[in-house]
Amino acid sequence: MENQSKIAVLYHLFYEDTSEMICEELDPLLTLNATYLFNICSDTPDKKQISARLKSKFPSCIIIDTSNKGKDIGAKLALIYLFLQSELQANYLLFLHDKKSLQALKSVTWKKDLLKIISPENLAEVLNTFDNNENCGIVATKEYIIEEPLEDGKFTGINGNILSNLLLNYNINLRSYLFVAGTMFWARAKPLRDFFTQHDPLKIRAELEDGNVLDNFSGTNTHSWERLLSWIITSKGFSIKGI
Amino acid sequence: MPVFKPYYTIKGSLLAGLINSGKPVPGNWRLNILLESENDLNPALFKFIGGINREFVFSITDTLLKRTREFPHLLGKLYLLTSMTRSLTGKRNILVFSEADGNPSVDTGAIKSFFEAQGSRDINFPLLQVKNPNKKDNSTWRLLTPGFRDSDSSTIIKETALTGLNTVIYFKEPVNDLSALEQIDRELNQSDKQLVQNEAGNGIKEREEFEMERDLWRKRALLYQDFLMLSKSVQQKEYYDVIDWYHKEYEALPVWYKRLGHVIKVLMGKRKLKSLFNKKPVKNTGNR
């Protein structure tokens, strides 16, 4: 990587029992001298202990706590706002959260797969991918790069109508319908910084649903923004690389 | 034994000067950062706050508070600041400093609406009146305005011991030399006999923290209950999706086609020939 100090990790914690595991998960990144920004959900008990553990492992980290709005997507928008307001310098952002998806059958596999992007054996590949390919905007776990269904130029998925409106309102011209499901990925910082400097992340966050919203039964702003976080980058001509 | 620790008020502009000059903020005393203009809410402040481990709160002047209606971008910054300054167990507070006489009008509507849109409804605005520090509102916050040059630590100790839980010290004269402040705090810490926080005050804080944690655990228990219900609905949906698929894609096929399929299975070795002539239905034992 060009400059090892130019990575910012944006991590959202929702569960009360994951901080120890998170500290272990992030071990491989310690050599990269990254900046760590954590968001702890306001609803999470034991925030004092969680916060102390994170500070002890990452002494220069910045911790915020925000309400449970838009799940991890709302948290990541708040962290992007913190990143911008603090004028932190980073070429690459790493989005992570303590995903459990307790309602889902395959939740354990999901988390394990999504974390491939920070496993010691894959980390070098991730960093080389960005270095060697200027067009690469996102690096994510291959199996989670999926395509939003489309028929005759119209979205057919459950979030279709919301997505169409958002793309129109934010003037996003899609070049690809691929996005990273699960919102754990590495991203080039510039396209995100450009977009969110123009569009206040907290205003977007205000439009997201409260609580633990799911899109199993109807479309949601939250899950639509899950797609947009990828599309903001790919609409600027960058590609998604799977590992 | 817990000791009493007041919050010392430092103006945002003074803090910005220190941060920009690269000098550390001396001491480890509790800090109240007083924001007087929108320029005080700058990147250096956010980085400074993010990096410190000391306890702190922040306050804004009633003049700046009025400007939140004119300058909505201030609201996001205030929201960020409160999300950084919360004690992680206590309530969110934005202290409001007023130099007005009498009863100042404090319009917190714009902030409240913004915070509500962000999902935060537990924000409080304790009012601290510089010209009338003894006036009490319903909060647990109190203001002390001792003289800086002529006051000694014993005066502060005496006064703070009377006020109880959350005491903010705002010196009458502008504070430009933080090392002098550090000296006062050192003397305060040495006078431990008088620094012992009154038990009632300490009890209030502990109870508040306990109640808040208890509420969070209650909510958490309900959440896990919701997850159980939800996982049932989700899995039920997945089950019926599979059944629907079976009926649409397989069951609708003609019988001769399905029978041919079974013959193909035998040819491929996936089924025994004998099973085609067995009239008893094959039970699925779940062992694969």
pLDDT for residue B168: 87
Looking at CA atoms only, how far is residue A167 from chain B in angstroms? 22
Are A63 and B50 an interchain contact pair (Cβ–Cβ within 8 Å)? yes
Q: Which residues of chain A have pLDDT under 50?
A: 1-5
Assess B55–A contact: CB distance below 8 Å, yes or no.
no
Which residue in B50, B73, B233 is closest to A62 by CB distance?
B50
Assess A1–B contact: CB distance below 8 Å, yes or no.
no
**Interchain CB contacts (distance < 8 Å): A and B:** 95
The model's pLDDT over B20-49, given as tens digits with 9 standing for 90+, comes to 887 777 777 788 999 999 999 999 888 888
> Which of 3.90.550, 3.30.460, 3.30.1450, 1.10.8 is the CATH number of A7-242?
3.90.550
List residues bridging with A98 in a β-sheet. Answer: none
Looking at CA atoms only, how far is residue A41 from chain B in angstroms? 10
Query: What values do phi and psi take at B263, rounded to 5?
Result: -65, -40
pLDDT for residue A216: 62
Q: What is the sign of the dihedral through the CA atoms of A47, A48, A53 and A55?
A: positive
pLDDT for residue A5: 44
Looking at CA atoms only, how far is residue B77 from chain A in angstroms? 8
Residues 218-247 of B with CB under 8 A from A: 219-220, 223-224, 226-227, 230-231, 233-235, 237-238
Assess A76–B contact: CB distance below 8 Å, yes or no.
no
Are A67 and B80 an interchain contact pair (Cβ–Cβ within 8 Å)? no
pLDDT along chain B (288 residues), means of 10: 71 85 76 91 88 84 88 91 71 86 82 93 87 74 76 64 73 74 71 50 69 87 84 84 89 88 90 80 51
Task: Provide the edge-to-edge strand list for the sheet that holds B30-35.
Answer: B127-129, B95-98, B56-61, B30-35, B7-11, B166-169, B141-144
d(CA A187, CA B217): 35
pLDDT for residue A107: 66
Query: Could you count the other beta carbons within 10 Å of the beta carbon of residue A34?
Result: 22
Assess A57–B contact: CB distance below 8 Å, yes or no.
no
In this structure, are residues B230 and B166 in contact, taking their beta carbons and an 8 Å threshold?
Answer: no
Between the CA of residue A238 and those of A78, A130, A228, what are the distances in Å? 24, 11, 14
d(CA B110, CA B113): 5
Are A16 and B120 an interchain contact pair (Cβ–Cβ within 8 Å)? no
pLDDT for residue B103: 76
pLDDT for residue A3: 42
Are A68 and B224 an interchain contact pair (Cβ–Cβ within 8 Å)? no
Assess B48–A contact: CB distance below 8 Å, yes or no.
no
Q: Where are the beta strands (DSSP E) in A46-203?
A: 62-66, 92-97, 136-140, 145-147, 150-151, 154-155, 178-180, 185-188
Question: pTM (2 decimals)?
Answer: 0.84
Average pLDDT of chain B is 79
Contact residues, chain A, for B80 at CB < 8 Å: 64, 78, 81-82, 85
Looking at CA atoms only, how far is residue A45 from chain B in angstroms? 5
Assess A143–B contact: CB distance below 8 Å, yes or no.
no
Contact residues, chain B, for A47 at CB < 8 Å: 88-89
Looking at CA atoms only, how far is residue A58 from chain B in angstroms? 11
- Indicate left, alpha or beta for B249 from its phi (over 0: left) and psi (-120 to 50: alpha): alpha
d(CA A230, CA A167): 12
pLDDT for residue B194: 47
Query: What values do phi and psi take at B151, rounded to 5?
Result: -90, 145
pLDDT for residue B288: 40
Query: For residue A13, what is the enclosing H or E element?
Result: strand A7-13
Are B50 and A104 an interchain contact pair (Cβ–Cβ within 8 Å)? no
pLDDT for residue B17: 83
Write down the domain spans for chain A: 7-242
Query: For residue A47, what is the enclosing H or E element?
Result: helix A47-57
Assess B58–A contact: CB distance below 8 Å, yes or no.
no
In DSSP notation, A153-176 reads: TEE-STTHHHHHHHHHHTT---S-
pLDDT for residue B277: 82
pLDDT for residue B212: 84
Rg of chain A over all Cα atoms, to the nearest angstrom: 17
Are B223 and A43 an interchain contact pair (Cβ–Cβ within 8 Å)? yes
pLDDT for residue A227: 97
Residues 184-203 of B with CB under 8 A from A: none
Are B50 and A86 an interchain contact pair (Cβ–Cβ within 8 Å)? yes
ipTM value, please give it: 0.91
End-to-end Cα distance, chain A: 17
Query: Could you count the other beta carbons within 10 Å of the beta carbon of residue A28?
Result: 14
Contacts of A209 (CB under 8 A, 6+ apart): A69, A70, A220, A221, A222
Pairing label, strands B7-11, B166-169 = parallel
